[in-house]
Amino acid sequence: MNTPVADQKSITQPKPVKKRKLIGDRGDYFLNRIEGETGANVSACYQCERCTNACPVSHFMDIKPHQAIRYVQLGWREDLLKSSTIWVCLSCEMCTTYCPNEVGVAEVINHLRNIAAHSSITPKERNLAVFHQTFLEVLEKSGRVNEFQLMNAYYLKPNILHEKIKNGSFKEELLLGLALLRKGRLKPFTSRSKAIKDIQKAYIQTRGEIV
């Protein structure tokens, strides 16, 4: 009996083997850098997974919180900066709270997000990355975040408003904004922070590298 053409192709063309990563092949540079810049004792993580179990959005992440810390230990920088994890993270710090060794998981992930925001790597979660960058821009400009100004600046970013209208989320957000406005929870304008210069200085000092 003759083998179908489709089956012949599957037999003659084996699937490409994924290149294995060797533990320790990247050295300790990235680990030392993250520990030095965040103050987090990443080396103390022994993979108990309590951070992942405490995370409310871990099921949306492609690299779980405990895995992200392990990736830092191994120096797998590109995998982290290309992941959705650094953008999905809510910065609620539940991971840090439940860590028995006080590693500072949330601080590490937030720092990785800042590095990615100032790198040439295309973010996996583009809309979240744009929102993060817009948040920082509004904070740098006025020293505090006004929700009305933040969302207005966010919608003005390229393709954001078009995508929101297309998927129907703009109408929902507009109705939510009107409800908050009627209840006095949303103010169109706020005064600049008196500590604006200190905030701008801190923002400049904590920027990620340009790669």
In this structure, the answer to whether residues 150 and 70 fall within a common structural domain is no
In this structure, the answer to whether residues 27 and 86 fall within a common structural domain is yes
Residue 74 lies in a domain: yes
Q: In terms of Cα–Cα distance, which of 180, 125, 115, 191 is closest to 151?
A: 180
Domain of residue 85: give its range: 22-117
In this structure, the answer to whether residues 36 and 113 fall within a common structural domain is yes
pLDDT of residue 111: 93
Which of these three, 84, 117, 150, is where a domain ends? Answer: 117
pTM: 0.73
Taking the CB of residue 183, how many other CB atoms lie within 10 A of it? 8
Residues 135-186 have pLDDT tens digits of 888 888 888 888 888 999 999 999 999 999 999 899 999 999 999 989 888 8
Residue 137 lies in a domain: yes
Token pair listed for 176:
């939510």
Residues 79-128 have pLDDT tens digits of 999 999 999 999 999 999 999 999 999 999 999 998 998 888 889 999 99
Residue 170 lies in a domain: yes
Q: Residues 65, 83: contact at Cβ < 8 Å?
A: no
In this structure, the answer to whether residues 112 and 158 fall within a common structural domain is no
In this structure, the answer to whether residues 27 and 75 fall within a common structural domain is yes
Count of domains for the chain: 2
